[in-house]
Each structure stands twice: as C-alpha cells, then as structure tokens.
Amino acid sequence: MLESAASGRLGRTALYDRHLALGARMVPFAGYEMPVQFREGIIAEHAHTRNAAGVFDVSHMGQAVVSARDHQTAAEALERLVPGDLLGLAPGRIRYTQFTNASGGIIDDLMVSRSASPAQEGRLVLVVNASRKEVDYAWLAQHLPEDVKLTRSEDRSLLALQGPKAEAVLMRYCPQAAALSFMASTPARFDGVDFHLARSGYTGEDGYELSVPTDHVLTVYDRLLSDPDVKPIGLGARDSLRLEAGLCLYGHDIDETTSPVEADLTWSIGKRRRTEGGFMGVGRIAEELKDGSRRRRVGILPEGRAPAREGTAIMADGRSIGRLTSGGFGPTLGRPIAMGYVEREFSAPGTRIDLMVRDKPLAAQVVSLPFVPHRYKR
C-alpha cells in the first residue's frame, strides 16, 4: 500500500526503493517523495518518451470508486458535482471532467471511467490529483446521496506507460492493449496479473495507465523496464511533456478561482449539460459559455532563450493583462514555452505581448495550443 502522508511525514509509493536503485533524485511532491529524474536527466527522459516509451510511477494520485445500484444512479449523483456528461458515458469509456464549486471554480480535474464489465455495472472509477485527493474525498462524502458509496482504492498503484512504442511494448504482456482506443478502458491481465487498463495519459503521446494491485506493481514495473524500448521517467519530464501538450496542471493553470471556460476546457462540458445545467457553479459557467469569459488561458512563445516562469506578469498597452501559470523549456521545440491567462481581447493567436522577466520586458506572442501536436490513437 501507499504509505500515508497524513501524519505530516512525506509518503512513499511502493516503488520508492526501486527508484533509488535506479538512481532517481527524489523530491517532495504533493505530500510524497517522488522521482524528479533518473540518471540520464530530464531532457533525455523527455526525448525518450517522445521517441520510444517511458514508464512513470503515478501511484501518489488518488484512485476511488463511486458505486450505486445502477449506472444511472451513480452518474446522476456525480453529475451534480461535475459539468461532464456521465449519464451518456458508454461502458468501457473514460471522461475527463472537473469538480466545480458553487462559484464555478475548479476544485480538481479528474478522469471518470465506466467499467466495460456487466458485473461492475453501477461503478464509476475516479482518478484524481494527488494534491487534491483528500479535498475531493471530503467533497464527495459531503455531497453524495446515501444510496451512492465512495470507496478509496488504497490497495492499488498506478503506472503510466507513454510514447509511440507503448502499444508494441504492452502487447507483449497484454494482447488486449492494441484493441483499446484513446479514452477507453478495460479489465485486463498482465502476464497473469489482473489489473485495469486505460488508454490515456498526461504527455500528449499515445499510451496507457495501468491500475495494478500494489502487491504486484513492482513485478509489473520491472517487467516493463526489462524491455529495451522502456526507461523510467520522472516528474521533471512529465511536466515538460504536459506543457508541450498544452495540458493543465492543478494548482498552477487551474484552481478554485478558475472556471472550465476561461481555462479553455469548454470541450469537456457535455452538450446536454450546457442545456440542462444541474451542476455546481452552473450560473457562472453558463454565463461564460453564452457571453465569453473575461480572461482566457493561452499558449505563449517568448522570444530568445530566456525562460519565463510561473507568476511572470504579462504586459500589453503599457499595463498588466495577466500572468503566466506555467513556463519552462520545451525540449522538443528547443525553445522556451509558457501558458497563462490574458484578458480576452489579447487572446487571439499572433497577439504581441511582453513578459516582465527580471524587471525587463521580454517580447512574446500568443499562440494556439498545443505546442506539440497530440498523438493519441483515436
């Protein structure tokens, strides 16, 4: 099992000792000691994931099940808390959505899976962010009706296998892998180990997430790493990959003040939900869907080689129009990249702006996201 960080001590995943043996540099992250990089470093790990396959330990994230007597009951209960269409979620499919608060801000973003197995009808599997899981579980406990149950999956670990060779690698141990399309999931077996397989991830590359009983996760991890196409990847490359993919990181690009509309996540709000409403914060979100939000999350390309970091002021017309929420070096592009929020009138691609770096204006322009095209298997 995961060691708990509730006591104030940093938690550790079941792979902690293996990470050390592989030369990982461990750092505090979301209450856990996690590998930020391995021996070859962040740039090499980033490139390997883009060109072959990397395996990430993401067992610090929260896994839980919402269950009821049938799918409709479970889905309707969750739909009061998220703007995604869960009633229309087909068996074996995954939905990205957000827990929203009464003012339309994002409590967390999450994945919701409906099991492909008829024996698990009425179960919705949730994967939530590590830094927010206790907040999420408390929110669910407060708002779920009595006939809908929340169960934490404390006995499971989570691995992400990402990159263009992920399918070929996983098929050697799990032939079902090739049949899954992006945002699909299924019960599966990995060399005799029962686990839950999802074709999804956080890198913009094709890949999978493997929810594995913790008693077996070391065996699965080592077996994946025995493949010459697979290397261990840390949080540093995970962050540079997701930034190039234009994906939000909770606590940086989205938080409890940010709505899904201004975060450019409108695509995740179901068509039926836009019409019917019935979820937390619908007043603000419906208004922004109709009239537009006052600010928008955009991609930004700074000129030159100097990176612009989170918190940097964005300037135009001699005044501040927003701030960067993520920024760093994009190894695939070989240049600095960033994301941030700007006032709506400055959000069009091609708009010229300045970033205040070390109290000096750095020329930049607004660009469309993602910086690197996604390569999901549709």
Per-residue pLDDT band for 306 (boundaries 50, 70, 90) equals confident
User: Which residues in the chain belong to E strands, given as ranges?
Assistant: 25-29, 32-37, 53-57, 62-67, 94-100, 106-114, 123-128, 149-152, 156-162, 185-190, 193-198, 207-213, 230-232, 295-302, 313-316, 319-330, 335-343, 352-357, 360-367
Domain 294-378 has CATH 1.10.730.10: no
Percent of the chain surpassing pLDDT 90: 95
Per-residue pLDDT band for 1 (boundaries 50, 70, 90) equals very low
Q: Dump pLDDT digits (tens) for 189-217.
A: 999 999 999 999 999 999 999 999 999 99
CATH architecture of 16-60+155-244: 2-Layer Sandwich (3.30)
Tokens of 313: 């002021």
Instruction: Judge whether 346 and 337 are in contact, CB under 8 Å.
Output: no
CA dist 147 and 196 (Å) reads 25
Per-residue pLDDT band for 8 (boundaries 50, 70, 90) equals low
CATH code 3.30.1360.120 region(s) in the chain: 16-60+155-244
Q: What is the mean pLDDT of the chain?
A: 96
Look at residue 3 in the predicted model and tell me its pLDDT: 52
Look at residue 94 in the predicted model and tell me its pLDDT: 98
Burial of 91 (0-12, 13-18, 19+ CB in 10 A): middle
Which is it for the CA torsion 80, 83, 84, 87, positive or negative? positive
Average pLDDT over residues 12-33: 98
Residue 352 has pLDDT above 90, yes or no: yes
Neighbours of 350 (CB within 10 A): 8
Look at residue 378 in the predicted model and tell me its pLDDT: 86
Average pLDDT over residues 131-150: 98
- Is residue 145 reached through a cis peptide bond, with omega within 30 degrees of 0 on the bond before it? no
CATH code 2.40.30.110 region(s) in the chain: 294-378
Per-residue pLDDT band for 23 (boundaries 50, 70, 90) equals very high
The mean-pLDDT minimum among 7-16, 41-50, 293-302, 308-317 falls in 7-16
